[in-house]
Amino acid sequence: MAHKFLPNSDVTITKTMLNKLGLTDAEQLYSDVPKDVTLKRPLDIPSALSEIELEKLLTQKLGRNKSYPEYLSFLGGGCWVHHIPSVVDEVLSRGEFYTAYTPYQPEISQGMLQAMFEYQSQICELTGMEASNSSMYDWGTALGEAGRMAQRVTHRNRILVARNASPERTAILKTYCIPAGMHVEIVDFDGVTGNLDLGFLASKMNDQVAAVYFENPNFLGIIEEFAVDIVEKAHACGALAIVGIDPATLGVMKPPGEYGADIVVGDGQPIGVYPNLGGPLIGIFATRMDPLLLRQMPGRLIGLTSEKADPSRQGFVMVLQTREQHIRREHATSNICTNEALFAVAVSIFLATMGPKGMKELGEHMIAKSHYAQQRMKEEGLEAPFFSGKYFGELSVRTKMDGAQLAKNLGEQGILGGLPLGRFYPDFEMVSLFSFNETHSKEDVDRLVSALKATTS
């Protein structure tokens, strides 16, 4: 068979090549493979589809999904539908970027290396940190790696995690840290405000704590107003402070580097990457420029250097590779190799188009829409917000209905959301989380409010 992806699959070309090797049949290439491990039947996989057939089939299959913009979406909780500037799509569709491998040959990979360096630089500006790696898989695994890094840095085994941090990410943290002999312990939050319980945290702190992890805004959408105190409590015991962030908030919110974070993790998805059912995403991982932290950092780092022959010419290379698996093997800081490089480029382009003003405006949209929704919901007699703490773009609402049922009912009206908190917190099964941003018009919010009222009354 000749196939369009296989230029030598035409019989005469294949024959020519085989003959040059002194062979007559491709089977002979496998003469060293023992017969008892060879598959003696064809694979039970359908025959090849033409491009037309493939696209028809996939369009039909994918057509069974419901998605934005056909549906309004108010879902958040770690992955968000945001607007993605057309320039991002345009550049990301360039084969020079998306069909490259890891930049092992820097001289012909300066484009990717510089874009990743720009990404690292922009993440540092946004988070107030000094050293960002060039990406992890996602926020959850970035957190997992941060936990293990805290153990290597402090030689301690306890990690304290806020209960109002994403329960899914906390579960991933456990998958990463428990095999390393660590103990993941939960710090409760104030059920009224939604803020971390500082007294509870204080009672758990001792000299065995490697790190304290909290998110800001937290998973309930609430801003941790007293983040400085949380960080101070961690530092007073010699523990690291790991802070999880949504980068879309950081044009308005104080960057964690300014309140003492040692490691910042988060997801770059909301600033330039489509949700894609939650993957691929792009994990943010940034620390301070402390040699002790840098040496223990996971993931690929890009550095600026100069040409050997002419030091006036600048260029970019992968640095501190002696931390990584291909050199250190079982002693590496992480096993990560493939990461999310292409999305580092996406985030970098996103931030380049937004600049400081755009990032501030983006945050303002989130605040304005969520608070407008709250006022409108309150007017309609809905319990919003459910948590009394200050919130950013995500609003907690309690109705008389189980959150999962509520989402189903809204789905029938062409609305995706809210996120049922009962899924993670059995004690809040009537509470849902609605997320707002620049993609929502005032009318969209009004439509949600009417649908909510109609459904729950």
**Site for other proteins, residues 22 to 61, rule: CB under 8 A:** 26, 28-34, 36-39, 42-49, 51, 54-55, 57-59, 61
Specify the stretch interacting with other proteins by CB under 8 A; choose among 96-104, 154-162, 186-194, 235-243.
96-104
Instruction: Say whether residue 90 binds other proteins (CB under 8 A).
Output: yes
Nearest to 83 by CA among 360, 268, 274, 246: 274
Pairing of strands 419-420, 431-435: antiparallel
Q: Give, as ranges, the residues between 253 and 272 that touch other proteins (CB under 8 A).
A: 253-255, 258, 267
**Cα 190 from Cα 226, distance rounded (Å):** 13
Residue 32: Cβ within 10 Å count: 5
Contact 142, 136 (CB under 8 A): yes
CB 85 within 8 A of CB 353: yes
Which range, of 157-165, 175-183, 197-205, 240-248, touches other proteins by CB under 8 A?
Answer: 175-183
d(CA 109, CA 106): 5
Applying CB under 8 A, the site for other proteins has a residue count of 215
Residue (80 or 386) nearer to other proteins, CB: 80
Which of the residues 437 through 456 are near other proteins (CB under 8 A)?
A: 438, 441-442
Listed ranges 116-124, 183-191, 206-214, 238-246: which one lies at the site for other proteins (CB under 8 A)? 116-124
Q: Which long-range contacts (CB under 8 A, 24 or more apart) does 304-310 make?
A: 304/117
Q: Which is nearer to other proteins, 54 or 202 (CB)?
A: 54
Site for other proteins in 126-155 (CB under 8 A): 126, 128, 130-132, 134-135, 137-141, 148
Q: Which sign does the torsion angle of CA 43, 46, 51, 54 carry?
A: negative
Q: Which stretch binds other proteins (CB under 8 A): 152-160, 205-213, 216-224, 447-455?
A: 216-224
Half-sphere exposure of 356 (CA within 13 A, CB side): 1
Minimum distance between the CB of residue 180 and other proteins, rounded to whole angstroms? 7
Binding-site member from 227, 230, 245, 263 for other proteins (CB under 8 A): 227
Q: Is 19 in the site for other proteins (CB under 8 A)?
A: no
125 near other proteins, rule: CB under 8 A = yes
| Binders in 385-424 for other proteins, by CB under 8 A | 390, 392, 404, 407-408, 411, 416, 419
Q: Rounded CA gap, 163 and 187, in Å?
A: 6
How far apart CA 185 and CA 188 sit, in angstroms, is: 10
Residue placing its CB nearer to other proteins in the complex, 98 or 207:
98
Stretch in the footprint of other proteins (CB under 8 A) among 1-9, 156-164, 200-208, 448-456:
1-9
Q: Cα–Cα distance between 320 and 300 in angstroms, integer?
A: 8
Residue 316, judged by CB atoms within 10 A of its CB (0-12, 13-18, 19+), counts as: buried
Residues from 309 through 348 that contact other proteins (CB under 8 A): 309-311, 313, 315-317, 319-322, 324-332, 334-343, 345, 348
Contact between 161 and 368 under an 8 Å Cβ cutoff? The reply is no
Residue 60, amino acid:
Q
In the chain the first and final C-alpha atoms are separated, in Å, by: 64
User: Per CB under 8 A, which of residues 183..212 are in contact with other proteins?
Assistant: none
Return the residues of window 348-377 that contact other proteins according to CB under 8 A. 348-349, 351-362, 364-365, 367-369, 371-372, 375-376
